[in-house]
Structure 1
Amino acid sequence: MDHAEPALSHELPATGELAFTLDDVPGLTTALKHGEEPAFTWLHHEWSARINRYCFALAAGDASFASEIAQASWLRIVRHMRVLADEQALWCWIACAARHAAADLRRKGGRYKRALERFKQWWSPLPETSAADDTASLMQAMEAALAQLTAEENLLLEGRYFTGESLETIGARLSISSRAVEGRLARLRQRLREEIAHQLRLQGT
């Protein structure tokens, strides 16, 4: 069963204390490079959902493996951040860190390969491609598949897998039981897998 990634332990300060901005990425990344906790807290507040979504795509929809990639990506941010010029450069750096984290985890445990194989049961045959080609195709297919969902369905997926909400929290927001939330998520995962397979077949035509 898929499990949502654990939330990071940062306690977010009040909004007025979030002094960083993407209009000053050199200042933000300088603070990150120097290990300043408020900078990491601010980045997590602003971009955690975006980073989690990207890791979810890299993991081919395997929420547990996506959690591992996200955690490894944040560690790379902590240890290796350098001063960057603008928002695009920052995102490219983080995306590259996430891809390297996914590759390292795949080499160490093979879970990335198994995640791809679970998705490959939905399409056949596929031309022989490199791991990088597989990842790029899956990410494109994932984005196209997510675009087919309703706003409520996207919120449900994002709440569970990208921001780490509990089944109980989601259920309270939707006024349904946690068991009903789990059922909806199972059906959504199935639809997402089928739509990703469809998008991948379209890419191959």
Structure 2
Amino acid sequence: MRILLVEDDPALSLGVARSLEREGWQVDVLADGEQALSEGLLNRFDLCILDWGLPRRDGLDVLRQWRTKGVRMPVLLLTARDELGDRVRGLDAGADDYLVKPFDVPELLARVRALKRRAEGRLEEVIRFGGLALDLAHRELTFNGERVPLSPRELALTEMLMHKAGRVVTKESIVVRLSTWEADFSENSVEVYVHRLRKRFSPLGVMIRTVRGFGYLMEIEAPAA
């Protein structure tokens, strides 16, 4: 799967590209609006991450030109603009999703996966386990209809565990999924996040069991005898 990343901040671009490559994407990186416009018209990509504020031609104009000329690839628009009017302008210009800077990389990756599912016609956007329901499109977890507040990384870890409920998720795969260019996520960090989720989920009848030497699995907690 091939993705076009258009971002003029070198550190951010490098970090996002590395995270996408860990997910299995082939990433083409550009830092210029004129180049992005040309590349999007000449080549086929499965998805684009497009910054609004680009040199020579801004991302919104690039997006409008693509849509006018029939380019239909899903586009995730990145911007520091967080006013409602700006979000509306971005979506009306043809963006499929919108992410405000600064953002957590796990959230960006989750949005990319959601756009990929939609493009492939996979319309199931909710994972369910016990009373838990994870809305992948809106990045929201609920229990029996009540919202369970989680951070982006806690949501990303919950998504991994719910996708493989009853099966082991390795500690190494969690490190890879939740790491960013800051390189601050370690196996010890995994244990911290698992501990947090256990505290949240145990009262809900959901447990995260440690499989020593392998990783973790999510199970329904057996009722007390």
Larger strand proportion of the pair: 2
Answer yes or no: same fold by TM over 0.5.
Answer: no
Decide which structure has the larger Cα Rg and report it: 2
Q: TM (normalized to structure 1)?
A: 0.30
Bigger relative contact order (CA 8 A; separation at least 6): 1
TM-score by structure 2 length? 0.28
